[in-house]
Amino acid sequence: MLNSIEEGVILFSSAPSKTRSNDTEYPYRQNSDFYYLCGFEEANSVLILVKTGESTRTLLYVEPHSEEFALWNGARLGVEGAMKRFSVDEVHSMLEYPNHIKEILREHIALYIDFQDDSSILKLAQQSAKDLRETRGVKRTLRCLHDVTYLIRSQRLIKSPEEIEAIRHAISLTASAHHEAMKQCKSGLREFELQASMSYIFLSNGAMSEAYGAIVAGGNNANTLHYVDNHDVLKEGDLVLIDAACEWELYASDITRTFPVNGKFSDAQRKVYEKVLDVQLRVIEAMKPGVKRDWLQRYSEELLCQALIDLGILSGDREALMEAKAHKKYAPHGIGHWMGLDVHDPCPYVDDAGESLVFQAGMVMTIEPGIYIRADDASVPEKYRGIGIRIEDDILITEEGCENLSSMIVKTVEDIEAMCANQL
């Protein structure tokens, strides 16, 4: 990290705790960038990296051990515990931060922060910078404020073997959960019953959290892209779209499968499903180092547009339909996104010149084509109305091409029907 800057101070504070209601809090989740840099998971902590000439200094500020806190909430690692466990030069108590920060910022001209940080920790640093400006004898004062997230997130783009292992583990639990949902599904169940059986698998295997709010969408609900209500009854003859996955050691997985509630695809459902699957397989096949993400997006849209023509949902010349963005009505979202510490990893999609990034080994991207046909869309053959299908896998770019990390989760019509019938 410090190699990316010439000189200055990088200041990173932990994620704030968030109140759910009155005096109850949401489960604590560390800021992904902070966790990426130091691995420390406690709230109210600060990481400071300093570079002066060729010398560097790394400091972690943590909440000190407190008997009172330990009684109610469990022991914190404390200064000594953190010093033993983390490879930083110095660990200090947060109580010392207000005095230290002024000394740390002294004689530095550049401060690197997360522009979204509105913590009191950052405000103290800004106040210190202001005080230093007005202090006699201080020759160099802060004059450059940089966004540090771009530096971190460019690094987060390429996953280390350890990061890929964590993603693989998250996917393995998610695989069991999707297979279990296929086996349990029958008409008359509520969508949340499938969600609950998946959550059971995540929690009972030690996953601390879902990676995002689960979507369990029966029938036409699948055409609401961010449907999270999950309270409807699953109906005979409908499909159910499940976009749900867990997080392992803060690393996400992100998987969608769509299958028949009663375990058997109708002819119309099968036709649309096989088109979406064909698009997904062809897009994955095209992924390898050197390919541009923009090109992949365009390619997937061409395939989806052609699929819609083949199904008789769109008619006309493909190029003209693409130009008019006619396919967007039925395939409105992008082909995929970076995935890692965040389910939508906020890594850059373009380089400094604004050019689309080129795939490199170690990048992880979801591939999730979908076709969505609303029940009330009278412009589409009746047999297709109310069908919403998405198929999503997590793809690792390798030196040779790519690896589908979630290939163990069934997705052919035959395998899905066999899984639903509990025959796999």
Supply the DSSP symbol for 44: S
What does the DSSP assignment read for 102-162?
A: HHHHTT--EEEE-TT---HHHHHHHHHHHHHHTSTT------EEEESHHHHHHHHTS--HH
Residue number, 193 or 247, with CB nearest to Mn ion: 247
- Order the strands of the 256-260 sheet from edge to edge: 215-218, 239-243, 256-260
Q: In which region does residue 264 sit, left (phi positive, over 0), alpha (psi from -120 to 50) or beta (all else)?
A: beta
In 154-289, which ranges are E strands?
Answer: 209-210, 215-218, 239-243, 246-248, 251-252, 256-260
Residue number, 78 or 370, with CB nearest to Mn ion: 370
Burial of 103 (C-beta count, 10 Å sphere; 0-12/13-18/19+): exposed
Nearest to 129 by CA among 106, 98, 113: 106
Nearest to 416 by CA among 277, 217, 261, 259: 259
Among positions 365-404, residues that touch Mn ion (CB under 5 A) are: 366
Contacts of 248 (CB under 8 A, 6+ apart): 166, 167, 169, 170, 173, 207
- Token readout for 214 is 């689960």
Among positions 246-265, residues that touch Mn ion (CB under 5 A) are: 254
Catalytic positions are: 23, 226, 243, 254, 333, 337, 344, 368, 372, 390, 392
3-state class of 242 per DSSP?
strand
Q: Are 8 and 36 in contact (CB under 8 A)?
A: no
Q: Give least dist CB 83 to Mn ion, A.
A: 39
Residue number, 321 or 409, with CB nearest to Mn ion: 409
Calpha distance 397→338 (Å, rounded) = 11
Q: Give least dist CB 284 to Mn ion, A.
A: 14
Q: Give least dist CB 14 to Mn ion, A.
A: 26
What's the one-letter identity of residue 123? K
- Token readout for 309 is 């023509």
Which residues share a beta bridge with 215?
A: 243
Q: Give least dist CB 24 to Mn ion, A.
A: 29
Residue 75: Cβ within 10 Å count: 12
Residue number, 152 or 367, with CB nearest to Mn ion: 367
Residue number, 101 or 341, with CB nearest to Mn ion: 341
**Contact string 203-232 vs Mn ion (x = CB under 5 A):** ------------------------------
Residue number, 306 or 366, with CB nearest to Mn ion: 366
Q: Give least dist CB 141 to Mn ion, A.
A: 45
Q: Give least dist CB 88 to Mn ion, A.
A: 34
Q: Give least dist CB 122 to Mn ion, A.
A: 31
Number of residues that bind Mn ion (CB under 5 A): 2
Among positions 315-374, residues that touch Mn ion (CB under 5 A) are: 366
Q: Give least dist CB 222 to Mn ion, A.
A: 14
Residue number, 254 or 417, with CB nearest to Mn ion: 254
Residue number, 63 or 254, with CB nearest to Mn ion: 254
Burial of 18 (C-beta count, 10 Å sphere; 0-12/13-18/19+): exposed
Pairing state between β 90-93 and 209-210: unpaired
* Phi/psi of residue 285, nearest 5 degrees: -60, -30
- Can you give the binding site for Mn ion, defined by CB under 5 A? 254, 366
